[in-house]
Amino acid sequence: AIAAGVPNPERVVGFHFFNPATRMKLAEVVAGAASSEAALERVRALGAAMGKRVVNAVDGPGFLVNRSNRPFGVEALNLLQARVADVETIDRIARLGGGFRMGPFELQDFGGIDVGFAVAQSFYEQSFGEPRWRPSPLSAKMIAAGWLGRKTGRGWYAYPPGRPEDPPAPKPRRGGSVAIGGGFPVLDALRERAEAGGWTVTSTEDGTIDVGGTRVPLLATGSLDALGGAVGFHALPTLGLVELTGRRVDAVEGFFHALGLHTAWVGDAPGLVLGRIVSQLVNEASFAVTEGVGTPEDVDDGMVLALNHPRGPFAWLELVGARHVVGVLDALRAELGEERYRVAPSLRRRLTNAA
């Protein structure tokens, strides 16, 4: 739109910094429809001279980095609306389970709920109603109440005091016997952690663990209701926190505590909380790359250097595995019937090629 109103549109280039611009180590160079390669290269050189990691992006909603980050806040709102977990629990799971510096609601309070909602509306309008980008009515209610975040003294949290401090991790202790299946990198990581902690580990059905005779499915391909059992769990190979759902079985939660892991009890859903957020981060980034908005390397660098994520979506994909990510998304679409969980074609192909 800016380029259309000037005599030499080929000289118009987007140059997008991240707040605070003096500290964030990345900038996006955004090509418009008429931007010349000479103009783009000149701006790239300027960014490099500033000491920035320069990534290339195509003009569109959120450019590359902010577009790829949409699910971090959007999926958290979807989880809250579905009453899978409350605000504090979702944020705590993101911090302790995923290694994010701030939880999604803490981050919304920091930036301003009204600002985030305006961005969400812009995404939705520019995409002509893309389901993945649909704004949340929860945000609209907060704005109507005047609760906009830190700047008004009240948002998802009250200020002061803000969000509660995270508890210390349980003290590891040597245990007895546990059976751990295979099929997912997180189960391999759990087996390694248990063996290092002195547990006797045997094998069991893929996609499950067995603690004291209780079968506990990993909710990576469905909800507990779909997969069956009294209690289910979800975690990522980072193994900072394990989410549990269903009937409280002391032996099961005690096993994870014995490994020094935090736990959180949430409502039933495929992927529970962190699995949904991370899977949608991977999915959105896959759509963006497929559409030529940027490269996987630029997405990952952007999420880490511009937004302080612990790793980028494609690094998450390598760590967690395509079977896990696609399993969560497919199960969500099947169980909820919502188009926003459709899998990006390139992500689906990655799973097929790995088979």
Instruction: Please give the positions annotated as active site.
Output: 16
Coil, strand, or helix at residue 330?
Answer: helix
Token readout for 172 is 């590891």
- Contact between residue 68 and residue 316 where contact means Cβ atoms under 8 Å apart: no
DSSP 158: B
Q: Can you name the residues that pair with 202 across neighbouring β-strands?
A: 179
Q: Can you spell out the DSSP letters for 20-87? A: STTT--EEEEEE-TT--HHHHHHHHHHHHHTT-EEEEEESSTTTTHHHHTHHHHHHHHHHHHTTSS-H
Backbone phi and psi for residue 202, each to the nearest 5 degrees, phi listed first:
-115, 175
162-171, Cβ contacts within 8 angstroms, sequence gap of 24 or more: 162/106, 163/88, 163/91, 163/103, 163/105, 163/106, 164/88, 166/92, 166/95, 166/96, 167/262, 169/260, 169/261, 169/262, 170/257, 170/258, 170/260, 170/261, 170/262, 171/260
DSSP state of 222: S
Judge whether 66 and 72 are in contact, CB under 8 Å.
Answer: no
Give the helix ranges, DSSP H, for the chain. Answer: 37-49, 65-68, 70-81, 87-92, 98, 104-111, 113-126, 137-144, 185-196, 224-227, 250-258, 274-290, 296-305, 313-320, 322-336, 345-354
Structure tokens given for 54:
């320069």
